Amino acid sequence: MKIAILGNGGREHALALSISKSKKVQKIFCLPGNAGTANIAENILLNVNNFELIYDFLKKKQIDLVIVGPEKPLVNGIVNYLKKRNISVFGPNKNSAQLEGSKIFTKKICKKYKIPTASFGIFKSKKSAIKFVNKSKLPIVIKADGLAAGKGVYICNNLKESNIAINEIFDGKFGFAKSILIEEFLKGEEMSFFVISDGKSFQSFQTAQDHKRVGEGDVGKNTGGMGAYCPSNLINKKLEKKIINRIIKPTFKALKDLGDNYSGFLYAGLMIKDNNPYLIEYNVRMGDPECQTILPLLKSDFLELILACNKRKLSNFKIKWKKNKSMCIVLCTKGYPDKYRKNIEIKELSKIKITKNNYLFHAGTNKKNGKFYSIGGRVLNFVNISNSFFKSRNNIIKIIKKLNWKNGFYRKDIGYRAID
């Protein structure tokens, strides 16, 4: 089979590696891919949001299956576009993808179907939003409605921070904003809960904990993700049952009532308090960096799993997992998530030897004349699987220290809630 994977991050490198292990694979194309995917696939420099050019390429190369990595093309309807043209593609359609494309859409579903979540208000002007915040209990959470690459969420501890958040969102920091979402601040511990669905049935697909904040101890600005570990130390059978019955099933019912059967990965960002789950937000694809820490634990054939989904035969597939623990630490360019330099050489990267149980996934990288360069804020993802999070973290930090990239930084406390 010829497979095309859309995207250019660490998630897409992990997807490509997992797909490459299947005996059914003849060739993998990554559109556009990165310096890491080039080792296992052919990179094709196409914009994932240019559907017409992508379709022309897929048709020309007679691609058998397309796997969509990032959220933007999903929200913009690439699945509908390709299916209409008889291209086999894995991922949710445009309507289902609004679970991530609009936080307000998701909140309205939560309200109607009694899905546990933070209480919220929707505001269409700076004036009404500021007036509400002035009367509210702090801290408070302010969110941009649309896609914001994981950075459109503000946890505001005082009125000054709240005013800055409201002004930045309405002034277009994350694109044109008709309205914003203001939520109560939920106390508890976060967890990422994944399911895979074929439109008829679904199965749980691991748990993880992501570290969004840039600074150690979970302080500072939100990022796309500084690291993750899998499985979450919070998960237990009782909690999983609550998540499925109170959150996942009502969400799928809501979509069905709207005329949709959800197909693809669904990632529920949850807050856990007293072993009870509350929905923070949905993502309609694998998380990044959660994907990089989850897929190395998968024993089953990943391609066969996706094919079973596309044939709506997921109920016949038994997903098998390794019993290890996994951790991912993200190496970033100094300055991220604010302004940072690009095209910085990563001199020692070619000398780093990746041994058994270690993985190196490229994210914001490029290769020119045999040399590796950083082209993004999140540059490299180091993953280790072992029998303890403590061991995994130490093993990763040793490798990053060997790299000795003076233009990068990383969090040394990933997994601290499960370790310390």
Residue 80: pLDDT above 70? yes
Please, which residues have CB within 8 angstroms of residue 205's CB and are 6 or more apart in sequence?
194, 195, 196, 265, 294, 319
Of 155-169, 240-254, 284-298, least confident by mean pLDDT is 155-169
For 174-211, what is each residue's pLDDT tens digit? 877 788 999 999 999 999 999 999 999 999 999 999 99
Q: Quickly tell me which residue has 């796309």 as its tokens.
A: 224
According to the model, what pLDDT value does residue 267 have?
97
Under the banding of pLDDT at 50, 70 and 90, the label for residue 301 is very high
Cβ 152 vs Cβ 144: under 8 Å: yes
For 213-230, what is each residue's pLDDT tens digit? 999 999 998 899 999 999
The distance between the two most distant Cα atoms of the chain, rounded to a whole number of Å, is 61
Give the span between the Cα atoms of 5 and 14, in whole angstroms.
11
Residue 420: pLDDT above 80? no
Give the span between the Cα atoms of 223 and 151, in whole angstroms.
6
Q: Stretch 87-111: mean pLDDT, rounded?
A: 96
Under the banding of pLDDT at 50, 70 and 90, the label for residue 22 is very high
Cβ 41 vs Cβ 33: under 8 Å: yes
* CB-neighbour burial class of residue 80 (10 A; exposed 0-12, middle 13-18, buried 19+): middle
Q: Stretch 398-412: mean pLDDT, rounded?
A: 96
Cβ 396 vs Cβ 325: under 8 Å: no
Under the banding of pLDDT at 50, 70 and 90, the label for residue 173 is confident
Give the span between the Cα atoms of 104 and 116, in whole angstroms.
15
Residue 146: pLDDT above 80? no
Name the CA dihedral angle for 29, 30, 32, 38, rounded to a multiple of 10 degrees.
-90
Q: Would you call the peptide bond into 116 cis, given omega within 30 degrees of 0 as the criterion?
A: no
DSSP E strands, 132-188: 140-144, 153-156, 180-184
Helices (H) and strands (E) in the chain, counts: 14, 23
State phi, psi for 95 to the nearest 5 degrees. Answer: -65, -45
- Average of per-residue pLDDT values in the chain: 95
Cβ 410 vs Cβ 353: under 8 Å: no
Q: Stretch 166-178: mean pLDDT, rounded?
A: 85
Under the banding of pLDDT at 50, 70 and 90, the label for residue 150 is low
- List, in order of start, the domains of the chain with CATH numbers: 2-93 (3.40.50.20), 125-178 (3.30.1490.20), 189-316 (3.30.470.20), 325-419 (3.90.600.10)
Q: Stretch 250-257: mean pLDDT, rounded?
A: 97
Closest CA to 295 of 6, 13, 71: 13
- In the chain, the percentage of residues whose pLDDT exceeds 90 is 90
According to the model, what pLDDT value does residue 372 have?
96
Query: Encoding tokens for residue 218?
Result: 């979970």
For 30-41, what is each residue's pLDDT tens digit? 999 999 999 999
Please, which residues have CB within 8 angstroms of residue 22's CB and are 6 or more apart in sequence?
301, 302, 303, 304
Residue 328: pLDDT above 90? yes
For 336-349, what is each residue's pLDDT tens digit? 999 999 999 999 99
